[in-house]
A and B are shown apart, each in its own frame.
Chain A
């Protein structure tokens, strides 16, 4: 059994004319929650789309659950939540779940699918809205339906793109409890992105990103200790400053070399 759910080396992605991810090298350990943190536009969604195999123009090495990303057998082993809720607005919450359950595991009795829908509805605390049209729900509720779809089946890897954005603090806490529960009881791997640094404390490991590069790949504790800071946010700022300083020295030495 491999220790890593995701392993990347020299991962580069171009979107349009721009290179959005540049030579990334990192690993995501199995059975843990890894947070993918960085400001909006740094490339979190692009990285996640590369992992689930929906991103074009990906070069370098990217292995997911022991296969190259996008391999057909991975499609039933990964649960993916896109950043914008992707559910059918003109179906009820339950109809959405039952349809996607039928796609994931065709040929199962309807009663099984119903139970499965009930289970994931309870997970995201939407049981009372099961028969509401998805289009009539609030943004946060639709996001939770989208999350519930990803929980169908028993995915070994959950890739969640900003699943807690716009939720009230109580719900956010409940979802993080659910994520930890999924990792602990099912041994699943979770990769959760966020642009809010305070979610970092809830992750086992962090990938800090900025402008298409990985600044750090560590545990929250180690990160704070290494940078001598109290919060992950402060650690992030410190790392950005250090990177900028290193960049400047590099440029000055290069400039000196050329004038010499």
Chain B
């Protein structure tokens, strides 16, 4: 018996399929300029707002502003990814892609790459605005702020991909945002230091990735060099992103009921 066509390989990760997928996701967004504008402008507007809310206390603006630089990319990418992958599931394009020689890792890496690129633009603008125009006082390098922001964006993409498997409609997908993001927002140390919370909540916040994202931002804010804590924070956020991406991959099934 012979197979006539040399079957295109479906290896774990194909760079050209990943690149094609990332380009496709960005092309889809390009047909929706309003979404791009909102994604990029809203963090900037919020920072400006924050700057004048804390007009009289620049220290508070430093702390909250730096934390927000890490939180914005996470929330935006979470929302965009969960809706985009949900659409992919409901429109039948996911079924079609998985019946084709596309590896699940290609699809996930493609999404991560496309939204990662967008996150770089978003974070670069927000960080630049905060540091150079709004007078956010960072002791460390703004590049490290950008690095943490990028990892946060990846974490948001990963979480969005994962929860989209549990949403049957866009209404449900949007509801996951308060469910997944809000508790982390309350516990991450943005409102009050994590050590001041009820011990149970401190323990809970110890296992939530956003706590480390915000802590990482604050390390850059207060220290000139990369501290050991900063390295730990970065590794934890990156590790969580990879872990959740793997969980997301497990929710992509070639065979469905």
Does A pair with B?
A: yes
A residues near B (Cβ < 8 Å) are 1-2, 15-16, 52-58, 65-66, 70, 72-73, 75-78, 80, 82, 84-91, 95, 99-100, 102-107, 133, 149, 154, 156
Cβ-defined contact, A54 with B95, below 8 A: yes
Contacts of A15 in B (CB 8 A): 257
Q: Is B3 an interface residue (CB 8 A)?
A: yes
Contacts of A76 in B (CB 8 A): 5, 7-8, 100-101
Q: Which A residue sits closest to B31, measured CB to CB? A: A90
Cβ-defined contact, B255 with A103, below 8 A: no
Cβ-defined contact, B31 with A133, below 8 A: yes
CA distance A100 to B256 in the complex (A): 21
Contacts of B10 in A (CB 8 A): 72, 75
CA distance A82 to B96 in the complex (A): 8
Cβ-defined contact, B255 with A55, below 8 A: yes
Cβ-defined contact, A56 with B24, below 8 A: no
B residues near A (Cβ < 8 Å) are 1-5, 7-8, 10, 14, 16-17, 20-21, 23-24, 27-28, 31-32, 91-93, 95-102, 253-257
Q: Say how far A231's CB is from chain B's closest CB, in angstroms.
A: 33
CA distance A75 to B16 in the complex (A): 17
Q: A55-B255, A95-B27 are in contact. Are A87 and B93 (CB under 8 A)?
A: yes
Contacts of B21 in A (CB 8 A): 99, 103
Q: A56-B257, A82-B96, A103-B97 are in contact. Are A88 and B7 (CB under 8 A)?
A: no
Q: Which A residue sits closest to B256, measured CB to CB? A: A56
Cβ-defined contact, B256 with A104, below 8 A: no
Q: Say how far A139's CB is from chain B's closest CB, in angstroms.
A: 14
Cβ-defined contact, B20 with A156, below 8 A: no
Contacts of A133 in B (CB 8 A): 31
Cβ-defined contact, B24 with A77, below 8 A: no
Please indicate which of the listed interface residues B10, B32, B92 has the most CB atoms of chain A within 10 Å of its own CB.
Answer: B92
CA distance A89 to B256 in the complex (A): 23
| Contact residue among B20, B31, B32, B98 (Cβ-Cβ distance under 8 Å from A102) | B20
Cβ-defined contact, A91 with B100, below 8 A: no
Cβ-defined contact, B24 with A99, below 8 A: yes
Please indicate which of the listed interface residues A52, A90, A102, A103 has the most CB atoms of chain B within 10 Å of its own CB.
Answer: A103
The 6 closest A-B pairs by CB, nearest first: A86-B92, A102-B20, A106-B16, A56-B255, A73-B7, A75-B101
Cβ-defined contact, B28 with A90, below 8 A: yes
Please indicate which of the listed interface residues A16, A58, A82, A105 has the most CB atoms of chain B within 10 Å of its own CB.
Answer: A82
Contacts of B97 in A (CB 8 A): 103
Q: Say how far B106's CB is from chain A's closest CB, in angstroms.
A: 8
Cβ-defined contact, A54 with B24, below 8 A: no
Cβ-defined contact, A52 with B1, below 8 A: no
Q: Which B residue sits closest to A58, measured CB to CB? A: B255
Q: Say how far A103's CB is from chain B's closest CB, in angstroms.
A: 5
CA distance A65 to B93 in the complex (A): 24
| Contact residue among A1, A55, A106 (Cβ-Cβ distance under 8 Å from B8) | A106
